């Protein structure tokens, strides 16, 4: 146990160790509050006095939530010379510790990475505002704690190498950790070669770039054959010969070529939307030439641009793929649709959206802050108006990632292998969870689309019924008016009779067109009922599937074995009984891994592939129905227009009837005058009766037309 005036700690409560100091978990003697104390060793006091006091001075100058706080500077009571920095304790450990967990071997989740990005950028901005260059940025010097809302907070720490430096100043001393070190500094510090260059503040940007790549992928960006610390010359070659735009370089065989990478790997857990925002940042700060590298102003501008974007979650129902679009809140739907097109290759005018069961119409000028609030589990569902083949999730078969245990006992190798097994298991579980999520969204989207189609069928039937009613009224009045004209025609030639005959033909054509719809709609309704029934069955099967729970149960057991392997790893020798237990644990871990793979391939993959296959068939039916319903609606609209013209024709004939009666009366012969007068009186009476009836018909037609227009307005997608 050691202590200062106000704090005490155990020597085995080590949080971290460096070349010049060790950090321990300590407590305040009065309050019991946990703190971190940095105790400097003998090597630290061999440094110049300026270097010894620099960290104290830098920390006193800084005050930010993303910088570890300095509470006090005290001395160990047993030794008046040993200085102790009393700092904020971060219970979550370091970012490096988080990345070394098997769960994060392929990088952090997107949400956690964005928190790291935001915190590091904010902390670095505070350093630059105070003219501080850190010179040793790496995951091990980024601490984590959990805030009151449960969200992680990351803080920069270890300012032993930090110093005050303005943007236009240079320094010549070398500090840092070699994997994260700028190539110019690497040449002098690691390769021990003369280097006449002075270094500017942008060396921190290189370290940030390596750190961000590590956080995003779980691995370093530049890896020579044998590793960075075993092949230092090639490490320097990779970092200095990196082509513009490349963000990583690896050498897979001794003296082999370097493979350059310009994108983040497929196993990376970040979405394509975020990758496209992040890659240009990495490419421009991982520049060995300090003149070509971005400055901090541009770095802050570009990273804050990412952090201030709105995330829109999208599930492409046609392609069965998840997407995230990063867009500014003031950007319009037009820009959003183009962003979706860049990820899905589905043209903007072919994109149709649903949200929580309802059609979602994104007007071209609608700004993103007025979009529905989406989440990963409640995204916008996008349907393509063109037939698309299901794409599904891109993934690497996790069976290729599971390492094999060696027969002999080697606690170090076995622990490493166990970590690899857990890493592959976590990846397998994530892929399986993605399969399940896709199937759930697939069924939800198909259900919503089917319900919409069912509504459209009912609307078309209602529209057809209104047209049929209108047609019936028109046909009756056409027959009455035709009889009157026939009576008049007996007295002479009537030109309008030809028009009446054409009207009759047109009405007959409308009647035949309408009669064809009932059967077609009935077939569509049967297909929709079939799809909805299939969706219901698939939902029941998904709810009964326990594959994820089985894999999680295996993972819990594997985690316990791995924890035991980490403890055993510290032992120099194992007794006989410990060896037997260790062997059994290796066997059990292997069995559990096989069970996970079996559940994955025999359940998760098969169910997912079956879902994709069945979904393709159902989407083709849906696409054909949508196309047919659109055609039916267009035909009904044309029928409605045709009947309006027929109605106008009837009104015109009715308006001209009195004039025709008068003409007929004037041309009648005298001997038949009395008879004709009586006949004309009957015709006038019939005309008046017809006019009264036509007023009623006109009212009904107007009502039916309003219904048809309303149905035209509320039939989405038609």
Catalytic (active-site) positions = 136
The encoded tokens of residue 275 equal: 């990758």
CA 481, 484, 486, 489 torsion: positive or negative? negative
Cβ atoms of 171 and 163 within 8 Å: the answer is yes
What's the rounded Cα separation, in Å, for the pair 85 and 140? 18
Q: Which of 510, 527, 519 is nearest to 623 (CA)?
A: 527
The encoded tokens of residue 128 equal: 């630059």
What's the rounded Cα separation, in Å, for the pair 366 and 334? 8
What's the rounded Cα separation, in Å, for the pair 539 and 510? 44
What's the rounded Cα separation, in Å, for the pair 109 and 106? 9
Reported residue count of the chain is: 718
Q: Which of 393, 372, 211 is nearest to 319 (CA)?
A: 393
CA distances from 701 to 639, 643, 646, 694, 695 (A): 14, 10, 11, 10, 10
Q: Which residues pair with 145 in a beta bridge?
A: 153
The secondary structure of 143-154 as a DSSP string is EEEE-TTS-EEE
Query: Angle formed by the axes of helices 673-713 and 606-666, to 10°?
Result: 160
End-to-end alpha carbon distance in the chain: 78
Cβ atoms of 133 and 171 within 8 Å: the answer is yes
Beta strands in 237-320 (DSSP E): 248-251, 258-261, 310-316
How remote is the C-alpha of 706 from its chain's centroid?
Answer: 43
Rg (CA), the chain: 39
Cβ atoms of 177 and 134 within 8 Å: the answer is no
* Beta strands 351-355 and 380-384, pairing class: antiparallel
What's the rounded Cα separation, in Å, for the pair 124 and 140? 16
Cβ atoms of 54 and 67 within 8 Å: the answer is no
For the chain, the farthest-separated pair of C-alpha atoms sits apart, in whole angstroms, at 148
Cβ atoms of 330 and 315 within 8 Å: the answer is no
Which H or E run includes 380?
strand 380-384
What are the backbone dihedrals phi and psi of residue 35, each rounded to the nearest 5 degrees, phi first? -140, 170
Residue 401 per-residue DSSP state: G
């Amino acid at each position: 146990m050691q202590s200062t005036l106000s704090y005490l700690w155990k020597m085995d409560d080590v949080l971290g160790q460096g070349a010049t100091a060790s950090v321990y978990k300590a407590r305040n003697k009065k309050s019991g509050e946990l703190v971190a104390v940095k105790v400097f060793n003998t090597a630290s006091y061999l440094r110049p006095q300026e270097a010894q006091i620099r960290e104290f001075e830098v920390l006193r100058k800084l005050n930010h939530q993303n910088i570890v706080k300095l509470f006090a500077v005290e001395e160990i009571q047993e030794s008046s010379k040993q200085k102790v920095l009393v700092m904020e304790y971060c219970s979550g450990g370091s970012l490096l510790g988080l990345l070394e967990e098997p769960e994060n071997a392929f990088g952090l989740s997107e949400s956690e990475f964005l928190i790291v990005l935001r915190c590091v950028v904010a902390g670095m901005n505070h350093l630059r505002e105070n003219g501080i260059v850190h010179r040793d940025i790496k995951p091990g010097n980024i601490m984590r704690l959990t805030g009151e809302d449960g969200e992680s907070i990351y803080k920069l720490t270890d300012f032993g190498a930090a110093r005050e430096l303005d943007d236009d100043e240079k320094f010549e001393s070398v500090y840092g950790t070699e994997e994260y070190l700028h190539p110019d500094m690497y040449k002098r510090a690691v390769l021990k070669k003369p280097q006449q260059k002075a270094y500017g503040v942008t060396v921190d940007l290189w370290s940030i770039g390596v750190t961000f790549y590590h956080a995003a992928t779980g691995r370093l960006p530049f890896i020579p054959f044998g590793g960075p610390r075993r092949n230092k010359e090639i490490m320097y070659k990779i970092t200095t010969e990196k082509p513009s735009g490349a963000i990583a370089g690896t050498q897979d065989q001794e003296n082999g070529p370097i493979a350059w990478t310009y994108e983040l790997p497929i196993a990376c857990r970040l979405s394509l939307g975020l990758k496209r925002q992040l890659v240009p940042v990495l490419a421009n700060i991982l520049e060995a030439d300090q003149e070509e590298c971005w400055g901090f102003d541009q770095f802050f501008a570009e990273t804050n641009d990412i952090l201030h974007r709105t995330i829109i979650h999208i599930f492409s129902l046609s392609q069965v793929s998840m997407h995230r679009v990063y867009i500014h809140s003031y950007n319009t739907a037009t820009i959003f649709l183009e962003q979706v097109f860049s990820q899905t290759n589905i043209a903007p005018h072919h994109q149709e959206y649903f949200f929580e069961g309802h059609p979602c119409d994104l007007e071209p000028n609608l700004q993103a802050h007025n979009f529905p609030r989406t989440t990963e589990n409640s995204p916008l569902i996008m349907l393509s108006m063109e037939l698309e083949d299901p794409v599904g999730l891109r993934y690497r078969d996790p069976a290729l990632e599971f390492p094999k245990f060696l027969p002999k006992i080697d606690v170090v190798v076995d622990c490493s292998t166990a970590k690899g097994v857990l890493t592959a298991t976590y990846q397998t579980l994530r892929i399986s969870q993605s399969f399940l999520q896709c199937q759930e969204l697939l069924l939800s989207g198909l259900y919503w689309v089917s319900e919409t189609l069912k509504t459209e069928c009912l609307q078309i039937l209602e529209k057809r019924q209104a047209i049929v009613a209108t047609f019936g009224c028109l046909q009756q009045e056409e027959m009455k008016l035709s009889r009157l004209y026939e009576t008049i025609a007996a007295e002479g030639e009537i030109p309008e009779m030809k028009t009446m005959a054409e009207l009759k033909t047109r009405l007959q054509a409308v009647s035949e067109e309408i009669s064809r719809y009932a059967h077609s709609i009935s077939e569509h309704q049967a297909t929709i009922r079939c799809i909805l029934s299939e969706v219901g069955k698939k939902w029941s099967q998904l709810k009964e599937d326990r594959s994820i729970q089985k894999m999680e149960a295996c993972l819990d057991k594997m985690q316990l074995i791995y924890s035991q392997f980490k403890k055993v790893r510290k032992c120099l020798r194992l007794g006989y009984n410990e060896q037997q237990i260790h062997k059994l644990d290796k066997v059990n871990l292997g069995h559990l891994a096989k069970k996970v793979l079996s559940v994955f391939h025999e359940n998760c993959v098969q169910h997912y592939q079956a879902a994709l296959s069945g979904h393709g068939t159902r989407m083709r039916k849906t696409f054909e129905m949508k196309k047919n319903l659109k055609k039916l609606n267009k035909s009904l609209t044309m029928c409605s227009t045709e009947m309006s013209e027929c109605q106008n024709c009837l009104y015109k004939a009715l308006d001209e009837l009195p004039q025709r009666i008068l003409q007929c009366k004037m041309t009648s012969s005298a001997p038949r005058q009395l008879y004709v007068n009586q006949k004309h009186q009957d015709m006038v009476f019939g005309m008046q009766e017809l006019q009264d009836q036509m007023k009623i018909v006109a009212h009904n037609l107007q009502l039916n037309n309003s219904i048809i227009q309303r149905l035209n307005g509320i039939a989405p997608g038609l």
